[in-house]
Amino acid sequence: MKHLVLFVCLLIGNFVLNVPVTSKVIAEEGKAMEHEGVIAPTKELMREVENRLSNMLTGILENNLKYVANEAGAVVDQSYKINQIFFDFNMKENRWFERAGIDPGNANEISKLKEDFSFYQKEIVDKALKMRKKALAGEQGETFRAFTELVEKTCLACHSKHRNWLFDQPGFHDPGR
């Protein structure tokens, strides 16, 4: 029974981590496009975080909690890059702003967005450190609950607010999802 529950959790975790990160997007013409060769700093950072989250789930399911604690620490380190990458020094040529329809000259909108991203960044740090603490204490169930809280309260919350609506907008959304 325990293995069945772990297997179901693995399947759910795999779905949560892999479905939003797809390499195909629907362009204006309705054709699928590959974006394998596209390198965007925001996409690369999110891929790094995705890999860490996948590693943490694997570690939890294998009860390798020391590994989970190390990966949680790495997510904390990566979270500090969020504002650096999304709000780089060259706002006028920021491709993320362009795709999101944000005017780089609108200081109020950018300031509000920075505050929001800072909030999620702090939440990532808090939730990842909580998970790290539970992992170091050897509490597999509590570590898993902390993991799901991290994904739900930070990743999914931020993406539903700042990412998912983008794909409902008309136009080409390079470099894709």
pLDDT tens for 44-90 read 888 888 999 999 999 999 999 999 999 999 999 988 888 787 777 66
Q: Is the pLDDT of residue 166 over 80?
A: no
Task: Assess if residue 44 is contained within a domain.
Answer: yes
Q: Is the pLDDT of residue 156 over 70?
A: yes
**pLDDT digits over 104-138, tens only?**
778 888 888 888 888 989 999 999 999 999 999 99
Task: Assess if residue 126 is contained within a domain.
Answer: yes
123 or 173: which leads in pLDDT: 123
Task: Assess if residue 63 is contained within a domain.
Answer: yes
**pLDDT digits over 88-97, tens only?**
766 666 666 7
What is the total count of domains within the chain?
1
What is the C-alpha separation between 152 and 130, in angstroms, rounded?
Answer: 14
Which CA distances in Å does 102 have to 45, 93, 95, 110, 176? 20, 11, 10, 8, 17
Task: Give the domain extent around 105.
Answer: 2-168
What is the C-alpha separation between 89 and 92, in angstroms, rounded?
Answer: 9
The residue count of the chain comes to 177
Task: Assess if residue 175 is contained within a domain.
Answer: no
**Cβ neighbour number for residue 29 with a 10 Å cutoff:** 7
Q: Is 33 helix (H, G, I), strand (E, B) or coil?
A: strand
pLDDT at residue 87, as a whole number: 74
Task: Assess if residue 173 is contained within a domain.
Answer: no
Task: Assess if residue 108 is contained within a domain.
Answer: yes
**pLDDT digits over 1-33, tens only?**
666 566 556 556 555 555 444 333 333 333 333
Task: Assess if residue 28 is contained within a domain.
Answer: yes
Task: Assess if residue 106 is contained within a domain.
Answer: yes
